[in-house]
């Protein structure tokens, strides 16, 4: 499917620029052009598809679904899936959190949504397909959704309400009545320009990170020796996964920038499970998100939330290293 991009990259670097195909610079530049084009095309396609999904399943509708239906324990799973298909913006996490609990959705279910939302998002999925292929992407998405489901369920088992901020407790006491969501009746054709522009906006917003990430990745590809990381991190030492997670949490990077670099780590010998754990910690748990959440919950609750998610990320890292 992407052969033509490879031909284009070969032509551009080797013929137009005349850089030798067997030089470090040639390989690195070729890799950079190929990956950037491939990723940007994938990114637009996936974001566009998600835009269509979101046009028909807006967040209000999903919230009402969680609210109204008897789901017999499956609500954690549904919330997690909804978190995955909703576009994530860290600045929306607090309004979402309040909106959910205000609507009477249990705290655990809200957490299930909140965990998966940054973990599995359209940008990460597109980058993953481009960098690791479809199979790894499916594993990543499935484990992210599972992690949100279990994490949310577990958090729901604790008595966490007292750990919310006072004004949030007050909201919980007098739950506002459900405002009915009115769906705009538009045909697909009428929605298309809006969806296209939305997709374009998202791609435009991350394009710089993609280019920087791929540039770093390309440079590393050309210059870091084969199996360089494998020597130190590839031997299956047990501490590599927790370490990857601990390093990942304070490192706030968006998926667009971090995945191309991770891909090189994997290519040079880091086990995929360790890399996945690092990636999940980087995008799923972030300090800026924690500071925003401080407005609605106590530090203790944030610590419990992050602790549980970090635990499950480490667990899945081990699991992947074992089975992949």
Partner 1 sequence: MKEIKVLGPGCPKCKTTYSNVLEALKQTNIEANVEKVEDIEEMMKYNILMTPVLMIDEEIKIKGRIAQVNEIIELLKK
Nearer to partner 1, 10 or 60 (CB): 60
CB of 169 to partner 1, least distance (A): 13
| Footprint on this chain of partner 1 (rule: CB under 8 A) | 59-60, 63, 87, 89-92, 94-96, 98-100, 102, 167, 171, 176, 179, 197-198, 201, 292, 295-296
**Does the CA dihedral 239-242-248-254 come out positive or negative?**
positive
CB of 36 to partner 1, least distance (A): 23
Nearer to partner 1, 171 or 302 (CB): 171
CB of 180 to partner 1, least distance (A): 11
How far CA 176 is from CA of 120, 179, 191, in Å, comes to 30, 8, 31
Contact 115, 309 (CB under 8 A): yes
Distance between alpha carbon 17 and the CA centroid of its chain, in Å?
36
CB of 98 to partner 1, least distance (A): 5
**Does the CA dihedral 229-274-33-202 come out positive or negative?**
negative
CB of 171 to partner 1, least distance (A): 7
Which distant-in-sequence residues (6+ apart) come within 8 Å of 168 by Cβ?
Answer: 98, 101, 296, 297
Q: Work out the angle between the directed axes of helices 240-248 and 299-323 (0-180°, nearest 10).
A: 140
Task: Count other Cβ atoms within 10 Å, centred on residue 6.
Answer: 14
Nearer to partner 1, 129 or 283 (CB): 283
């Amino acid at each position: 499917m992407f052969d033509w991009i490879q031909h284009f990259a070969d032509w551009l670097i080797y013929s137009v620029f005349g850089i030798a195909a067997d030089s470090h610079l040639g390989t690195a530049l070729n890799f950079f052009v190929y990956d950037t084009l491939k990723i940007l095309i994938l990114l637009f396609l996936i974001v566009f598809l998600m835009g269509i999904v979101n046009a028909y399943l807006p967040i209000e509708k999903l919230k009402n679904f969680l609210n109204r239906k008897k789901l017999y324990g499956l609500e954690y799973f549904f919330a997690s899936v909804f978190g995955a298909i909703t576009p994530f913006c860290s600045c929306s996490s607090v309004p979402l959190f309040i909106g959910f609990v205000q609507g009477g959705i249990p705290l655990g279910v809200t957490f299930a949504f909140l965990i998966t939302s940054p973990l599995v998002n359209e940008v990460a999925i597109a980058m993953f397909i481009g960098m690791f292929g479809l199979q790894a992407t499916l594993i990543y998405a499935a484990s992210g959704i599972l992690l949100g489901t279990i994490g949310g369920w577990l958090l729901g088992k604790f008595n966490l309400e007292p750990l919310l901020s006072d004004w949030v407790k007050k909201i919980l006491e007098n739950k506002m009545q459900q405002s009915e969501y009115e769906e705009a009746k538009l045909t697909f054709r009428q929605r298309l320009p809006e969806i296209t522009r939305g997709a374009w906006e998202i791609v435009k917003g991350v394009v710089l990170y993609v280019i920087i990430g791929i540039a770093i990745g390309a440079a590393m590809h050309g210059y870091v020796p084969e199996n360089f990381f494998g020597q130190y991190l590839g031997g299956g030492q047990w501490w590599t996964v927790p370490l990857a997670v601990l390093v990942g949490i304070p490192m706030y990077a968006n998926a667009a920038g971090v995945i191309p670099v991770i891909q090189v780590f994997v290519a040079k010998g880091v086990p995929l499970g360790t890399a996945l754990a690092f990636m999940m910690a980087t995008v799923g748990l972030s300090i800026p998100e924690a500071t925003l959440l401080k407005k609605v919950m106590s530090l203790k609750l944030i610590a419990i939330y992050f602790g549980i998610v970090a635990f499950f990320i480490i667990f899945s890292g081990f699991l992947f290293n074992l089975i992949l």
